Amino acid sequence: MSSTGALSSLGIGSGVLTSSVIDQLKASDTSLIITPIDNKITTNTNKQQSMSLLSSLATSLTGSVSSLEGSSLYQKRTVSGANSAVSVTADTGVAVQNFSISNTKLATTNVSQSGSFTSSANTIASGSGQFNLNVNGTDYKIAYDGTTTYDDLKTKINDIAGADVSASILQTGDTSYSLILNSKNTGKAQQITLTDLSTKANSALTSNDSLSGTFSAKTSTISTGTGTFALKDSSGHAIGSSFQYSATTSLSDLATMINNDPTASASVNASVIKNDLGTYNLVLTPKAGTTGPISMANFTGTLDTKLTGATTTTNGGMSNIQAASDASFKYNGITLTRSTNTISDITVGVTINLLSTDSTSTANISITQDAQPIKDAMQSLVDSYNAMNKQLTSMTQTDATTGTVGLFNGDSSINGIDRAIKQILTSSSGSGLSLTQYGININRDGTLSFDSSAFDTKMAESPDAMATYFSGKTTIDSNGNSSTTDGIFNTLYTNLNDLTKSSGVLANLTTGLTTEATSLTSDRTRATDALTAKYDTMTQQFIAYDSIISNLNNQFSSLSQQISMAVNGK
């Protein structure tokens, strides 16, 4: 039972056994029993806070080392040497290399323009018929009738051939319009041929084409023997050199032969189309700058007369404004051609972008290892280590000047952390490499510093050697067996991971402090309860003693009065 209420009157009877006496006794016991426990609890709390900060800093350092121990950081590339005509991108991990790009010529799309018409609502034909639109070896059939307008034709082309061709109507004057056909891709194979198979469309839509007689198939042969022929423009001038054919040359082979000739293909496009009768025709379409129609002149041999004397031409208003052409450029002095201005098939992971036609300048491209991410990671490592080192110093060292003693002074587990890290950082590889050579130095006060210029110099000697020293290397022998050599940061990461993982040194130390805190709290509770019980009992005893003394005082007072009366009465 608590005696708090009784303490207010304690000492009234005796004047000696007061509550202040109990308070003094209890304060003395508290300082001897409770205060030492409180001091231990305070120390434990401070240790837990220090350990929490150390764990956080160690985790940060582990993260910094993690980026250096993996291989991805050393696969990054930087590209230099581009100019206004060429840009180059390099994927992660491509081989370090140098090459030159010069004499660039851009690949172009085909642009064809029809003859003029006064309104897009005008009809395009006198009756029903069909166009054949040929691009990149693909035929698209575009049907029309007497009610089809230019606007309708534009829509039909976009709906049917929209994957390869874009059709639009362009106003070229106050009351004049043209149908524009533009290939969606670049390269000489994208040349567009629009052929009126029914000859009922307006002349504004027909090209200045040469249309051969009909063949039963694309594979039909064009001769019974060998011979030569040439192409001529409308003025009779030869286009390129003569061509040779044989008894096995097919209609399709003939078109390919013409399109693959550099000189001829610059002036004319050859295509084989399927007409509305199900047979095939060779169509020769003049390109921009060439006057059509184009004719074929047989020199020797027996060329099929359907290709020469039986050839018919259409003289219409559709003209080629821009010929579809391949890109060309010199790669290390070797002339290459591609159908696109974005080239990615020379070296895996390297993309060359041709930006303009330029015959005068040379782009000397250098693809090198990107050192900046590595240097950033090295600086991050140094900063993270220094932050952890500062915390370790405050936890373990004694300052003689201020008399401050680290909370973990003398703790071998904590003291061993920094020693283990420094031992790895100052070690050398079997090939004699060290972090000092790459700019990481240990200062006199135990902190680290990073010299990026020293890093640049050493890395330039051999980027591969640096990557191997830092992050290790995996090799595969002729039998397919792999072996891995760890780098210095693999070793450091393993040690730090053992330190910071859930079952690591720091976690175990933290668990020990938590267990100690629980035990100290229990000890304090028990000690406090024992003191409370002790002084509750003492208070009751004091109350009883005080009552006895009070009674004795009363009895003595009564006896004293009797004696006094007896003396006075005498």
User: Given a cut of 80, is residue 389 above it in pLDDT?
Assistant: yes
Are the C-beta atoms of residues 224 and 326 closer than 8 Å to each other? no
Residue 33 dihedral angles phi and psi, to the nearest 5°:
-110, -50
**Cα distance between residue 192 and residue 112, in whole Å:** 8
Phi, psi of 56 (to 5 degrees): -65, -45
What is the per-residue pLDDT across 440-469, written as a single tens digit (0 to 9) for each?
999 998 999 999 999 999 999 999 899 999
Residue range 167-176: mean pLDDT, rounded: 93
Q: What is the pLDDT of residue 565?
A: 78
Residues 6+ apart with CB under 8 A from 94: 77, 347, 348, 349, 350, 367
Residue 374 gets which letter from DSSP? Answer: H
Q: What are phi and psi of 370, to 5 degrees?
A: -80, 105
pLDDT digits (tens, 9 = 90+) for 296-312: 999 998 999 999 876 77
User: Is the pLDDT reported for residue 152 higher than 90?
Assistant: yes
How many Å apart are CA 42 and CA 38, to the nearest integer?
A: 6
Residues 292 and 202 in one domain: yes
Low-confidence winner among 16-20, 159-163, 256-260, 532-536 (lowest mean pLDDT): 16-20
E strand or H helix at 282: strand 280-286
**Looking at the predicted structure, is the pLDDT value of residue 401 above 80?**
no
pTM score:
0.71
Of 557, 511, 499, 569, the closest CA to residue 55 belongs to: 499
**Does residue 141 share a domain with residue 101?**
no
Q: Considering 337, 369, 401, which residue would you say is the last residue of a domain?
A: 369
Amino acid found at 203: S
Q: Quote the DSSP letter at residue 504.
A: S
Encoded tokens for 267: 């002036």
Q: Which of 345, 369, 393 is the last residue of a domain?
A: 369
Residues 229, 189 within the same domain: yes
Residue given tokens 């579809």 in the structure block: 324
For residues 148 and 271, state if they share a domain. yes
Write b or e for each residue in 167-184: b if 16 or more Cβ atoms lie within 10 A of its Cβ, otherwise e. Answer: bebeeeeeeebbbbbbbe
| pLDDT tens-digit series, residues 410-447 | 888 888 888 889 899 988 888 899 999 999 999 998 99
Determine if residue 271 is left, alpha or beta; phi over 0 gives left, psi from -120 to 50 gives alpha, anything else beta. Answer: beta
The last residue of a domain, from among 339, 354, 369: 369
Q: Does the pLDDT value for residue 16 go beyond 70? A: no
Verify that 363 and 225 share a domain, yes or no: no
Give the closest residue to 430 by CA, choosing from 482, 470, 471, 469.
Answer: 469
Tokens read off for 98: 């140098």
Name the domain count of the chain: 4
Average pLDDT, stretch 328-342? 97
Confidence of residue 13 (pLDDT cuts 50, 70, 90): very low
41 occurs within a structural domain: no
Average pLDDT, the chain: 89
Residues 546, 398 share a domain = no
Residue-wise pLDDT for 543-556, tens only, equals 777 677 767 777 77
The structure tokens listed for 242 are 């003569």
Residue 381 near residue 62 (C-beta atoms within 8 A): no
Q: Are 380 and 362 part of one and the same domain?
A: no
Q: Are residues 69 and 206 in the same domain?
A: no
Residue 126 within a domain: yes
Q: Name the residue with tokens 């003094």.
A: 24
Give yes or no: residues 395 and 477 share one domain: yes
If you count them, how many residues does the chain have? 570
Q: Tell me the average pLDDT across 363-375.
A: 95
- pLDDT score of 274: 87
CA angle (531, 533, 536) in 5-degree steps: 105
Closest CA to 284 of 262, 255, 310, 323: 255
Residue 9 has pLDDT above 70, yes or no: no
Count of CB atoms situated within 10 Å of the CB of 139: 17
Which two tokens mark 520? 């100290």
What Å distances lie between residue 414 and 165, 336, 391, 407, CA to CA? 73, 65, 11, 10
Rounded Cα distance, 318 and 88, in Å: 39
* 215 within domain boundaries: yes
Mean pLDDT of 188-210: 88
42 in any annotated domain: no
Checking if the pLDDT of 12 tops 70, the result is: no
Query: Which residue has better confidence, 291 or 239?
Result: 239
> What is Dmax (Cα atoms) for the chain?
184
Radius of gyration of the chain (CA): 49
Strands (DSSP E) found in 45-192: 77-80, 86-90, 97-105, 111-113, 129-135, 138-144, 165-171, 177-183
Least confident of 12-16, 37-41, 124-128, 394-398: 12-16
Q: Does the residue 364 lie in any domain?
A: yes
Domain assignment present for residue 46? The answer is no
Residue-range definition of the domain harbouring residue 360: 78-107+327-369
pLDDT of residue 104: 97
Q: In this structure, are 354 and 280 located in the same domain?
A: no
How far apart CA 182 and CA 164 sit, in angstroms, is 9
Is pLDDT above 90 for 40? yes
pLDDT tens profile 72-118: 899 999 999 999 999 999 999 898 999 999 999 999 999 999 999 99
Q: What is the pLDDT of residue 308?
A: 87
Pair 91, 178 in one domain: no
| 563 burial level (CB within 10 Å; 0-12, 13-18, 19+) | exposed
Query: Quick one: pLDDT at residue 18?
Result: 66
Is residue 394 domain-shared with residue 477, that is, in the same domain? yes
Is residue 309 a part of any domain in this protein? Answer: yes
Dihedral sign for Cα atoms in the order 62, 63, 67, 70: positive
How far is it, in rounded angstroms, from Cα 186 to Cα 341? 8
Q: Which two tokens stand for residue 233?
A: 């423009």
- Residue 21 covered by a domain: yes
**247 touches 221 (CB < 8 A):** yes
